[in-house]
Structure 1
Amino acid sequence: MHSATRTLKFLLLLFISLSVTFQQVHASSRSENLSENQKKFLDAYEAIKANDRPLISKYKSQLKNYPLYPYLVYLDYKYHFKDTPNPVIESFINNTPNSPLPFFLKAKWLHHLAGTYQWDEYLKHYQEGEYRAVSLKCYFIQASIARNRTDQIRKKAQTLWKTHITLPKDCRPVKRFLRKEKLITGSMVWSKLQLAMTKGKIKHAKKIGRDLSKMGRRALHFWIDTYKNPKKVTRAIPAYISPVIRQAIFKQGIQRLAYTEPELALKTLEKRAEQYGLNTQELASLQSQISLRFAYQYHPKASEYLAQIDRASKNEKTLDWELQVTIRESNWVNYLDLYALLPEKQQNETRWRYWKARALSELNQNKKALPIFKALAQKRNFYGFMSADRLKQPYQFNPTPSQKKSFTKMVEKYPQLKVMQELIAINWKLSLKREWYHLLDHIDEDDFEAIANFMSDWNQHNLAIQTISKVKKWDDLSLRFPTPYKQPVLQAANKNTIDPAWVYGVIRRESAFSPNISSAVGAVGLMQLMPKTARYIGRKMGFNKRQYTRLTSPESNIKLGSAYLSYLHKKYNGSRVLATAAYNAGPHRVDQWIPEDTVMAADQWIETIPFSETRAYVKAVLEYTTIFKSMLNKKYDRLENFMHPIGLPKTLSAHDTGDSSQS
């Protein structure tokens, strides 16, 4: 037993020793690529964190003319507010031009002033509307209360309370003030409750409801029950509930009932709209929402219900879905009738012009369709490529290099560029992004292309793409469609027998080549993999745990994402269209979208994907893949080669209907 313990301790010490050695070697190898000033700056940062005043003073003196010197000052103040006089901080904020640092330092300083109850200083420097942070708004109210400005602040405190479902703990003094002054009214509580219920925040609604009367809590209980079981709106809502709240319960109940039973929702709406005092506009809005539910499901009566909506009440979304239903149903005559009713702006959209030509072609009116296809075939996009396929014409990529400018001259105009270069060198990505945002807010429109080229030269491809898109310069393909990580992409594509251009197309759409990006739902890295999907694919393909858990590593992410694409490609019998859709929306959804009793043309299926995000995603990835193919190989594959008809017998593998959702 003791021997085993000693062995375990030895192995643990060996592991720690190896880990430290690896980190030291890694840091050493990286520091070899840094300049002396860059090394000094990073050492100075460590001194600031340790509050080593003599060393901080030494480095500040040595780095006085270094582009990142303002960062040393900023970090020193940020870490040591209590040791820094307020006038010194104020001077930095007011006298540091061409930098995002004053904005971020001031926010931190305001928190410090509030935390140390320096209310006079807080009121002096806080500006309403400058920051979005709710806590800073609460501190402003607290500071005003502390300085007996309660008459001026009551309404602000009430508005803040009722317009936020939850408030951070920093706002507790404001809540105490409102309760002490008895400023929380019943109407405020119901206003806040309506906000919570509209967003489906049931737990928060219950907490808010504690401020209601006994009868009010009873009404809230009924509302929550109706939220969970929307069929309750088919019966009369109890009279003890106020008319305003009854109407809110009814409207939300109808909306939620329409998710599962749109016909019942429409019938109930027609029966009880007058009873709950809905005006003409509210009635038309709910009718439109229910009709869209029929459309989302491609219900057999979708066209009928959409057609019943008053023309004046139809918005762009309703018109779009009405057109999509006719495309899904191959109702070409109806499509042309609806197209003729569109506003001119919508008629000129590439999407609807393509489908006008498709409709004319299907109705054997080729002479009318041909000029439209010819015009569209000049465009470098999904519909342009599809139109060129119809005409058997070559694709038009029409690349135009963007404007480049002398870096030396641009630095004279925008000194921040040197700062950004240094931040890239030391790998401070968040600071780089902040500098980039700040720079774009202050440059001339004529300089955007040059800035985008600098970003590209520095391998900051995501920033280059975003920069050039801000001025809608779409024709520099080398900027918009770079090919970094070429070796891992080619290797992963080859191993998984898929086209590397397709891998690039997915990366470009998912992350625009930002390896550390994370989405709101938890997708990570270049190919935006969900950790659950990465784990499933990693285990299925025999990857080690380190590979399928390090999703911000470009190499690991590309290996896993490519393996997942290959898995989906096989699942859907080689359909790139379905595999791409499944990568975005998850195979379980795509399986439901495949027609069971018919076969659809691929462009019709893509155009009528129920999820607007997935619909746009598939078009973009197919378009991007075509462009990347032309750049990688100096030739391209035609989209028609991948636009196989879609229907269950053709596209879903009979032996593999397993599911690993990426969404």
Structure 2
Amino acid sequence: MKFRTILTLITAAFACSVQAQARPAAPAGDEVLLEMQQAFRQNRASRLVELLPQARGHVLEPWAAYWELRARLDTAQPQEIRDFLARWAGTYQEDRLRNDWLLLLGQRRDWSTFADELPRFRMNDDGQVRCYALLVQQLRQGATPELVDEVRRRWHAQRDADDACTTAARDLFSESRRDGPRITPLDAWQKARLAVDANRLQAAAAALEIVAPDSVGLLRQLHANPARFLGGKVVAVTRKNKELVVLALIRQANTDVDAAARALDAKWEPMLTAEERDWLWGQFGKEAAQRLSSDALGYYAKVGRDAHLTDDMLAWKVRAALRAARGPQWKQVQEAIDAMNPRLQRDSTWIYWRARALMAGRRDEDQAAGRLLLQSIASPRGFYEQLAMEELGMGITPPAAPAPLTDAEREAARRNPGLQRGLAAIALGLRSEGVREWNYTVALHTPGGMDDRALLAAAQLACEREVWDRCINTSERTDGVFDAAQRFPMPFRDAVVKRAGEIGLDPAYVYGLIRQESRFIMNAQSHVGASGLMQVMPATARWTARKLGMNGFRPEQINERDTNIAIGTGYLKLVLDDFSGSLPLAAAAYNAGPNRPRAWRNGPVMEAAAWAENVPFHETRDYVKKVLANTTLYAAILSGQPQSIKTRLGEVGPREPAQAQPNADLP
């Protein structure tokens, strides 16, 4: 379907539905909007002022107005900002600009205006705005334990030295205050530890500016060369020096965990507190587990109290216990999950593994408790949800389709101004803006937030426009219904099934991978340069084309549908053959390159679900699980029969010496 045709239809429908906001002037050309987007990205404020009049009356005028004002927000008058907010009331652009203004007000410490505007902020999803809001609440009403807990959690979670949460933590910091809740020196040192581990020196320095400002210079020394710092004259007697030793050992463990562990064992452990020792052994356990080292559980065994560990350390303790050479260590799995924050415990990942740990025991009450946990997540919705279904003896099938949409429900979606603008922006090539507007419109925090039926109607509108990513993602927001046709569409079915059959691939696997790679966006481009439906890298495309005998292949062909499918499936088949038909290993190789999973498979033979959970890269770990869950649902849809995700997962272990490696030169 042609984008210009779509845009013409959308513009006409939009003009009828929002006459109150439209100007009588004729719609400007699309080129004006495209130029304004580029001018905004290039911070050319004067050009935006020149172009804005030409955008009057266009379906995307709210974006033009937003770009023009946002580019000069720091010099705009408050009344000018309020006029914009009033004119575009109820739109994404209104809420987006209010978000930007709230951040500016926080940076300026204009707490009165901030407090006035905050209740009108509908998205309420900006972490910095939330920290400023907590700071204002503390200034006006005083600190509560709940407020301090939230500031601590948000401050610890932020990656960089953002102003809002750092300022809120600084304001709540006290070394000796006894009359109420506070951010403590330990909180500040723990923030520094987290930042050093993440190689975020600026964030670590900001934490030290709060608790030990005279140590920032020493922080930079230990960050640059932790071994030299630890071998110098530092003596772990004072609280400050002990914590600097902890930071140095964390930094050393980032590159040489064994050396850091030896140093702690041989010299520093007796001088440190129990909390500091436990944190370090947990840190070493995490570092070793991420390297798939068999030493990980040994380091974790030195921890006195799991309560001293972060959730990240505990998650890697679970993974190390699943990967143990003697088989899963279920007692340690359960202990680590029990020590996690209650919010994390509710994640389906840890519900599933805690259930498995309970059911590995012999007591009837543990078996019953495990089954109850599995029942609480069993569903075709995701990886662990499908595994839970199978543990309970159920095959994986899509639920019954919801009742058909009524004409009124469809019409309401078609007439929704936010959805119309989202589709118009995507059709024009402003995909980022269109996606943000669409997501805002369907999210529950918008006025008159959508229920399940409205979400299904919005998803169907996107499906009909072949905007597959919004079709899928919108349908996935439903809670009480599950429309498999929307969540697992099969565009280009003839081409995909035909090509998969020609080279011996399961079409469900191909669809499962495409759904995760591109959401069926034909011209999708990744930040690393991968292109098209199957997100193929240029070098990989050239290598695969030669391997497949595709003479005359040109790099620009990779965005052509059939060429992209041919090369993507061809490469996937070569990868699958190289890994002896293992779907999880091949998926990992497709995402992270073949050499990494060749190393990751070394170790004990284990069920592939445990292996996938141990993939060191978060992106690849998530990718493998989603591709396999997608594949299982697509197979159920294509075959009409219940499916097994466990059969597709199989087991993973080292390559057998006699196993051939047919494509050792895979890129």
- TM bucket, shorter chain: 0.5 to 0.7
Q: Equivalent of 1:647, from 644, 648, 654? A: 654
Q: Does residue 272 of structure 2 align to residue 266 of structure 1?
A: no
Q: Quote the residue 1:351 is aligned against.
A: 353
Q: Quote the residue 1:151 is aligned against.
A: none
Q: Equivalent of 1:584, from 591, 594, 604? A: 591
Instruction: Determine helix, strand or coil for the equivalent of 1:398.
Output: coil
- CA separation in 2, counterparts of 1:94 and 1:391? 55
Report the AA paired with residue 470 of structure 2.
Answer: L
- CA separation in 2, counterparts of 1:576 and 1:38? 45
Answer yes or no: is the 8 Å Cα contact 1:496–1:563 preserved in 2: yes
Deviations 1:5-31 (A, max 9, x none): xxxxxxxxxxxxxxxxxxxxx9xx765
Deviations 1:299-324 (A, max 9, x none): 44433332331234345444444443
Answer yes or no: is the 8 Å Cα contact 1:48–1:56 preserved in 2: no
Written as runs of structure 1 = structure 2, the 5 A alignment for 1:435-450 is 435-439=437-441, 440=443, 441-442=445-446, 443-446=448-451, 447-450=454-457
Deviations 1:523-557 (A, max 9, x none): 55543444444444345445578754566655554
- CA separation in 1, counterparts of 2:264 and 2:437? 53
Report the AA paired with residue 95 of structure 1.
Answer: R
Q: Equivalent of 1:575, from 568, 578, 582? A: 582
Instruction: Determine helix, strand or coil for the equivalent of 1:573.
Output: coil
Q: Quote the residue 1:96 is aligned against.
A: 88
Answer yes or no: is the 8 Å Cα contact 2:383–2:625 preserved in 1: yes
- CA separation in 1, counterparts of 2:77 and 2:540? 52
Q: Equivalent of 1:430, from 409, 429, 432? A: 432
Unaligned 5+ residue runs, structure 2? 13-25, 37-46, 103-107, 129-158, 164-190, 206-213
Q: Quote the residue 2:303 is aligned against.
A: 309
Report the AA paired with residue 397 of structure 1.
Answer: P
TM-score w.r.t. the length of structure 2 is 0.64
Higher relative contact order (CA 8 A, sep 6+): 2
- CA separation in 2, counterparts of 1:220 and 1:315? 22
Q: CA deviation at 1:467?
A: 2.7
Change (3 A) 1:534 1:76: same
Written as runs of structure 1 = structure 2, the 5 A alignment for 1:506-521 is 506-519=513-526
Deviations 1:584-620 (A, max 9, x none): 3322111112236x64444443344444543443232
Deviations 1:192-242 (A, max 9, x none): 999997764789999xxxxxxxx9999678435415xx4x35523468x99
Answer yes or no: is the 8 Å Cα contact 1:465–1:479 preserved in 2: yes
- CA separation in 2, counterparts of 1:603 and 1:541? 32
Cα RMSD after superposing both structures: 5.7
Q: Equivalent of 1:255, from 250, 253, 257? A: 250
Q: CA deviation at 1:505?
A: 0.8
Q: Quote the residue 2:473 is aligned against.
A: 466
Q: CA deviation at 1:484?
A: 1.9
- CA separation in 2, counterparts of 1:258 and 1:59? 56
Change (3 A) 1:497 1:91: same
- CA separation in 1, counterparts of 2:599 and 2:549? 29
Report the AA paired with residue 565 of structure 1.
Answer: L
**Percentage identity across aligned positions?**
23
Q: Quote the residue 1:154 is aligned against.
A: none
Change (3 A) 1:204 1:242: farther
- CA separation in 2, counterparts of 1:458 and 1:539? 36
- CA separation in 2, counterparts of 1:564 and 1:626? 21
- CA separation in 2, counterparts of 1:47 and 1:425? 12
Change (3 A) 1:70 1:588: closer
Deviations 1:502-537 (A, max 9, x none): 111112223333455555555555434444444443
Q: Quote the residue 2:640 is aligned against.
A: 634
Deviations 1:476-520 (A, max 9, x none): 212211112334433442444312211111122233334555555
Change (3 A) 1:318 1:465: same
Q: Quote the residue 2:225 is aligned against.
A: 226
Report the AA paired with residue 509 of structure 2.
Answer: W
Q: How many residues align?
A: 552
Q: Equivalent of 1:620, from 626, 633, 637? A: 626
TM-score w.r.t. the length of structure 1 is 0.64
Written as runs of structure 1 = structure 2, the 5 A alignment for 1:68-217 is 68=60, 91-102=83-94, 200=199
Instruction: Determine helix, strand or coil for the equivalent of 1:349.
Output: helix
Q: Equivalent of 2:663, from 644, 648, 656? A: 656
Change (3 A) 1:267 1:472: farther
Larger radius of gyration: 1
Instruction: Determine helix, strand or coil for the equivalent of 1:649.
Output: coil
- CA separation in 1, counterparts of 2:628 and 2:257? 34
Report the AA paired with residue 96 of structure 1.
Answer: W
Instruction: Determine helix, strand or coil for the equivalent of 2:581.
Output: coil
Answer yes or no: is the 8 Å Cα contact 1:226–1:249 preserved in 2: no
Q: CA deviation at 1:648?
A: 1.3
Report the AA paired with residue 98 of structure 1.
Answer: G
Answer yes or no: is the 8 Å Cα contact 2:333–2:354 preserved in 1: no
Answer yes or no: is the 8 Å Cα contact 1:38–1:426 preserved in 2: no
Q: Does residue 289 of structure 2 align to residue 295 of structure 1?
A: yes
Q: Does residue 399 of structure 2 align to residue 398 of structure 1?
A: yes
Report the AA paired with residue 664 of structure 2.
Answer: T
